[in-house]
Amino acid sequence: MKKPVNIVIAGLGGQGVIKASDILSEAAFRSGFEVKKSEIHGMSQRGGSVTSDVRFGPQVLSPMVPPGEADFLVVLAPDQVEVNRGQLRAGGVLIAPDLIDASKLSNRKSFNVALLGALSAHLGLGEEKWRAAIHSCLPEKLHPANEQAFAEGRRAAAAKKLEP
């Protein structure tokens, strides 16, 4: 059995953590993988910590990323980086909010999708799967802004990879 890819997305309520994990799991599902996406949600109020676990691969059993076994940790809020760092395995990749320059986004609310763009540079899922996932998870009027944010994130991650 090949191990699944483990991703934890973290942020604060209202930032779009769950939406980002919806898009990610949809992109992985459309790429033919088994997928499980799990989070604790239910509170309406904004501002509290939110995390969502996404696992995909040829087989996924537990829906939760085991503690300290995340291959990728995507964090939307600067103050949530340290709280969640323990989720990452040794050698895992942190995608932190400071990677993205929010002023370059046509809509700042697409910050979550910009970070997905950055994540996508590491995952090898087809770009057309990502586009289809964005389209299926968001209303049409938000598609242009989110595609732009996704491309910006992907570009930022590629640029960072090139850094010495």
Partner 1 sequence: MNSTERQLLSGDSAIALAALHGGVALGTGYPGTPSTEILEYFSHIGGKAQWSPNEKVALEVGIGVAYGGARSLVTMKHVGVNVAADPFFSVAHTGVVGALVVVSADDPGMASSQNEQDNRRYAVAAAVPMVEPADSQEAYDFTLAAIEISERWKIPVLLRVTTRVCHTQAPVLPRAAVPPPQPHFEHDLRGRNLIPSNARPAHRRLRQKLSELTDWSETTPLNQIFSGDKKLGIITSGVCFMHAREAAPDASFLKLGFTHPLPLKKIAEFVRSVERCVVIEEGDPYLADAIRAAGLKVESKPEMFRFGELNVDRVRRILAHDPSPEPTRPPGKPPELCDGCGHHVVFQALKNLDCIVAGDIGCYALGVLPPYSAMDCCVCMGSSIGIGLGLRQVLPPAEAKRVVSVIGDSTFVHSGMTGLAEMIYNPPPTGHVVVILDNSTTAMTGHQEHPGTGRSLDHAATGKVIYEDLGKALGIEEVRVFMLGKDCAEFQQVLADALASEKQVLIIARRPCVLAAKSIREYEKCALANGGCCS
Footprint on this chain of ligand SF4 (rule: CB under 6 A): 44-45
The span from the CA of 152 to the CA of 96, in Å, is 15
Q: Residue 105 or residue 134: which is nearer to partner 1 going by CB?
A: 134
- Out of ligand SF4, partner 1, none, what residue 48 binds, judged by CB under 5 to 8 A for its kind, is partner 1
* Dihedral sign from CA coordinates of 21, 6, 93, 79: positive
| Min dist. Cβ of residue 14 to partner 1 (A) | 9
First to last CA, the chain: 35
Question: How far is the C-alpha of 39 from the C-alpha of 96, rounded, in Å?
Answer: 20
* Partner whose binding site includes residue 42, from ligand SF4, partner 1, none (CB under 5 to 8 Å by kind): partner 1
Q: Which residue type, as a one-letter code, is found at position 61?
A: L
Our CB check for ligand SF4 shows the closer of 15 and 25 to be 15
Query: In whole angstroms, how close is the CB of 13 to ligand SF4 at the nearest point?
Result: 10
